[in-house]
Amino acid sequence: MAEPKPLRHAPITEALVNVRATPTRPIVPHREAFHDALRDLYPGVKDRRGFQAKVQFAKGKSPVATASEGELQGFQFYSSDERSIAQFRSDGFTFNRLSPYTDGDQLIGEALRLWEIYRRIALPAGVSRVALRFINNLTLPPDPGPLGEFLDSPPTPPPGAGPQLRGFLNRVESHDPQTGLTIVRTIASARTKPGTEGLGVLIDIDAFRSADLSVEAAELRPVLTALRKLKNDVFFGSITDRTVEILN
């Protein structure tokens, strides 16, 4: 376990804030209202549609599968560099930030600013879930040796198997009834970028709280702050000081 600290080369490839809510009026007719509020920083826009798949069965014949786009469910607005994405849907709102990542204060601040736009137009009656998710992609040295030098509680080959790990996947979900916070952590082997030597490791951390929450940004902020601290504790609890040296 490593001590939490700022990293000069944070391995975050995507960070997102998700708020699940039920609007009291449909958002689809208000596309232009969203666009007017966002066009300065998020000039790109795409419709978000559902997906429908059907399988037809007939006696004596092979199943026939068809797929088609479903009804319009919301919109995605993109920054000019397409690294910041605001998604407004019939079931809530998501803000995605792709690498390069800035910091948690900016992520949460921008997410809440965008949430206020959603709240003003969609008029949600309440919030049922708030989540903070970070996807980290590490590149360890080629032939790194024992993974315990880089990962806390690393995966190991099963008894009787060969000593060389070629892939691994570990998913853990944990809930704290006192705070109401839940964490889902996934650690898995991953591909590295083309031309990059080393062992790729994915650390995907999804921290969330499911409860009846206020729609006020001022009351959602401390929830996101608590989720951020939990996320940091889990991430640094998953790696060693050797890995921190690589990331600094």
Residue 53 inside a domain? The answer is: no
Domain that includes residue 19, residue range: 12-46+76-247
More confident residue, 58 or 6: 6
Q: For 16-66, what is each residue's pLDDT tens digit?
A: 999 999 889 888 899 999 999 999 999 999 986 654 555 666 666 666 565
CATH number at residue 114: 3.30.310
Instruction: Report how many domains make up the chain.
Output: 1
Residue 240 inside a domain? The answer is: yes
Residue 71 inside a domain? The answer is: no
More confident residue, 144 or 58: 144
The rounded radius of gyration (Å) of the Cα atoms in the chain is 21
Residue 64 inside a domain? The answer is: no
Helix ranges, 39-148 (H): 104-122
Residue 5 inside a domain? The answer is: no
Residue 39 inside a domain? The answer is: yes
Looking at residue 94, what is its pLDDT? Answer: 97
Q: 99, 12 in Cβ contact below 8 A?
A: yes
Looking at residue 68, what is its pLDDT? Answer: 45
Residue 70 inside a domain? The answer is: no
Residue 82 inside a domain? The answer is: yes
Cα–Cα dist 185/133, whole Å: 10
Residue 67 has pLDDT above 60, yes or no: no
Q: Give the number of other CB atoms < 10 A from CB of residue 237.
A: 13
Residues 5-14, mean pLDDT to the nearest whole number: 90
Q: For 173-232, what is each residue's pLDDT tens digit?
A: 999 999 999 999 999 999 887 777 888 999 999 999 999 999 999 999 999 999 999 999
Quick check: pTM over 0.85?
Answer: yes
